[in-house]
Chain A
Amino acid sequence: MAELTEVKPEMLEGSWTLRVRNTVDRVLPMDHLLPHRQPYYVGSWVYVFGVITIAALVWVVVSGVVLSFMGPQWWHASSLGRFFNSLHFWSVQLFFIFMVLHLWGQYFMAGWRAGRAATWMIGVVIFAASILTAFTGYLSQQNFDSQFIAINAKDAMNSAGIGAFFNVLNFGQMYGLHVMLLPITVTFLVVVHIVMVRARGVVKPIGAEGGKAS
């Protein structure tokens, strides 16, 4: 059996793969992605809000996958389906409560300091995308709430010109967005947000960097 031979370093010059791998190693080494130590001030209870928001999102996705697999009518006629819908519903409620607490916590900690503005901004985009995802969920319930929310909301959407492309009266469009495009968007942005947090580490307490909150 032939032995593997080393590739000469000069032959790897210009390798896109190696360049990406080296960048990832530099920006986000495993020691930062899965840390085994943190600054002592990270022991504050406020840091819990971020991780429980992620935990709630996991349950939203898991229960949502079950509901979408069984189809939009299932939960109206099955007690098991109703249970999974309830799990989905309350996971969403918890997700928003935790996310808002996380947002306010980060605001009063000025979490955007020392080069972390983009992390804050992506967090706000996640908040907005989550609201849109939940909104399409309410429109996809196929019950009285969905009907009246659709009738009520169309005027706002139409007045902004959005209604021409985002028809809240079209169940198929809202359901497709709710189970596919928007959850993928939210999940992707959450992953980017977490990677940014892990790459830079958590910010120091206010005053530890010269007293400016900006």
Chain B
Amino acid sequence: MKAKKQVTQEEYYRGIRMVPYDLIKELTIALVGVGLLALILGAALSSPDVPPVTIASWAQSDPVDFVTTATNELQGGTISAGYGNPYNTNGSGQSWGPIAPVQWFGTRIPVDSANSFVIQPLKDASFGNTDLGKALNQWSSASSDQQTTWLKAYSDALGKATVTDGKVTVADGQYGPLPVMLNNLLGIAQAGGLDGLLLVNGRFYQTDYTQALLFMGDGGYLAGLAQNANLTGSQWGMMNETGTYPGQSWLWLYTMWYQVFPFTSSDGFLGLNAGNADLGIIIVMTVLTVALALVPFIPVLRDIPRWVPIHRLIWKEYYSAGKRTP
């Protein structure tokens, strides 16, 4: 392969008419103009700031959903409980044929949903609470079969639960210590204690909301609010935001794949389907991004600008003059 000699700018522009240009002036005008535009938009339209949902507001607004979610955590039936890596080993995660990146790095962020979200906070709160202490002892000393029976009965009963003075009431039945445990958890949550317990985890300074967000994600309350705000995945949610603000509109292509075949289909195509849509779409977008970067080397893609005469509009003066080297 013959090495090309580097062409200097002077050689490259030889024969081309040069005109005066003031880069600093252009940049200054751009800074002032764009700054004014951003300032006007910011002052006139503000920015979105819907307050976050707390576990306290969830437990106060929808106590039945809160207690049902906590019961499901004990049953191991929530999203986080059966997630798999990086949180636990209870699920296999998404894969496409032999490609399963979720398995590559193991359980890097350990989360034991039943223990982290329900049992441990109750143990922390049982200090000085005799009834709760007894209920926890009864729970921990019961056999696994007995726990499962109580959970099944209580879970079924929650389908017809009522709320009185913020407390969840179910029909009489054989629930063991569960009503005491879960109403105590509800009370702690409604008072704001669970927000702190899930965040602090024995430390003082903390900035990691993994547990609190996973727990809220397991419930139906936050998802319902997101549905109302058009934020879920099937509503182009990855690029939307609350209100009428533009959101991350640059994610439109990524978000679009979630709305179309094969990622909306259970059968799918070539092994890509709704079940592994996240992985499939990440792979598609990675390929497309690499292709965009390599456009200069990809036949057809690199030739389209020559075929489509948009460049004739851009360099109108050059082409209308009908001269190549003015």
Contact = CB atoms under 8 A, between A and B. Distances in A.
A161 B282 CA distance: 11
Nearest to A160: B282
Contacts of B231: 145, 148-149, 152
B22 A36 contact: yes
Contact of A86 (B47, B51, B106, B292): B47
Interface in A146-176: 146-153, 155-156, 158-165, 167, 169-173, 175
Contact of A40 (B45, B217, B326): B326
A71 to B, nearest CB: 12
A182 B139 CA distance: 48
Contacts of B299: 214
Contact of B43 (A43, A86, A153): A86
B50 A145 contact: yes
B75 to A, nearest CB: 21
B50 A143 contact: yes
A44 B226 contact: no
Interface residues of A, number: 99
Interface stretch (B65-73, B129-137, B185-193, B307-315): B307-315
B238 interface: yes
A121 B234 CA distance: 32
Interface in A109-150: 109-110, 112-117, 120-121, 124-125, 128, 131, 134-135, 138, 141-150
B219 to A, nearest CB: 11
Contacts of B308: 108
A151 B227 CA distance: 13
A161 B103 CA distance: 7
A45 to B, nearest CB: 8
Contact of B34 (A40, A59, A107, A200): A59
B78 to A, nearest CB: 13
Contacts of A107: 295, 305
Interface string B201-222: 0000001111001101100001
A39 B16 contact: yes
B1 interface: no
Contact of B208 (A83, A91, A105, A170): A170
A112 B248 CA distance: 28
A145 B210 contact: no
Given A55-B30, A125-B293, A204 B16 contact: yes
A147 B213 contact: yes
A42 B317 CA distance: 10
Given A34-B23, A52-B33, A86 B250 contact: no
Tell me the interface secondary structure of chain A in the complex. Answer: helix
A100 interface: yes
A171 to B, nearest CB: 5
Contact of B249 (A37, A96, A171, A212): A96
Interface string B20-32: 1111101100110
B276 interface: yes
Contact of B296 (A117, A146, A152): A117
Interface in A33-89: 34-44, 46, 48, 51-52, 54-56, 58-59, 63, 75-76, 82-83, 85-89
A195 to B, nearest CB: 13
Interface in B267-326: 276, 278-279, 281-282, 289, 292-297, 299, 302-306, 308, 310-311, 314-319, 324-326
Given A110-B306, A112-B295, A155 B278 contact: yes
5 contacts: A86-B41, A86-B46, A120-B293, A152-B238, A159-B276
Interface of B: 4, 6-7, 9, 12-13, 16-24, 26-27, 30-31, 33-35, 37-39, 41-43, 45-53, 83, 85-86, 93-94, 101-102, 104-106, 108-109, 207-210, 213-214, 216-217, 222, 225-226, 229, 231-233, 237-238, 241-242, 245-246, 248-251, 276, 278-279, 281-282, 289, 292-297, 299, 302-306, 308, 310-311, 314-319, 324-326
